[in-house]
């Protein structure tokens, strides 16, 4: 298992190594995000979040995290929990409602 030197999460944050793939799971848990960060995927400055309310009193947050590593990218929808919320705070991620992230302007130089 390769480990990339970065500001990634340490192995002590990973209880179980969890691979995640959008073709096999709709949502990821915090352990899958921690594993991805440990393997060198980078967390963006802005993360989109969708809220779902059940019975008007139970809130479920899903963070849509756009990860990048070595020229590859993926969006990992992560179910919110205290670990994820603390991670967003510690990494100073700007959390915006899903669909409101400002697009990155392309470089138009020739």
Q: Which of 66, 62, 44 is nearest to 54 (CA)?
A: 62
Q: Could you tell me if residue 74 is inside a domain?
A: yes
Whether the model pTM is above 0.85 = no
Condensed to tens digits (0 to 9), the pLDDT of residues 9-53 reads 555 555 566 778 888 899 999 989 988 988 889 999 999 999 999
Residues 23, 20: Cα–Cα separation, whole Å: 9
Condensed to tens digits (0 to 9), the pLDDT of residues 50-90 reads 999 988 889 999 999 999 999 999 999 999 999 899 999 98
Q: Could you tell me if residue 86 is inside a domain?
A: yes
Reduce the DSSP state of residue 71 to 3 states and report it: coil
Residues 65, 71: Cα–Cα separation, whole Å: 16
Continuous H helices in the chain: 30-38, 82-90
Asked if 52 and 34 touch (Cβ cutoff 8 Å), the reply is no
Q: Could you tell me if residue 35 is inside a domain?
A: yes
What pLDDT score does 20 carry?
85
- Backbone φ and ψ of 77, nearest 5°: -80, 115
Q: Could you tell me if residue 99 is inside a domain?
A: no
Q: What domain count does the chain have?
A: 1
22 beta partners: none
What pLDDT score does 96 carry?
96
Range of the domain at 70: 11-93
Q: Could you tell me if residue 88 is inside a domain?
A: yes
Residue with tokens 């100073």: 92
């Amino acid at each position: 298992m390769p480990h990339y030197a970065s500001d990634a999460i340490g192995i002590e944050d990973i209880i179980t190594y969890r691979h995640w793939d959008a073709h096999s799971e709709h949502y990821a848990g915090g352990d899958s995000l921690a594993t991805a960060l440990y393997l060198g995927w980078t967390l963006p400055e802005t993360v989109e979040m969708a809220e779902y309310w059940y019975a008007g009193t139970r809130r479920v947050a899903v963070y849509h995290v756009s990860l990048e590593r070595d020229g590859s990218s993926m969006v990992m929808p992560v179910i919110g929990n205290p670990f994820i919320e603390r991670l967003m705070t510690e990494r100073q991620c700007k959390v915006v409602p899903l669909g409101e992230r400002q697009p990155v302007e392309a470089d138009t130089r020739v």
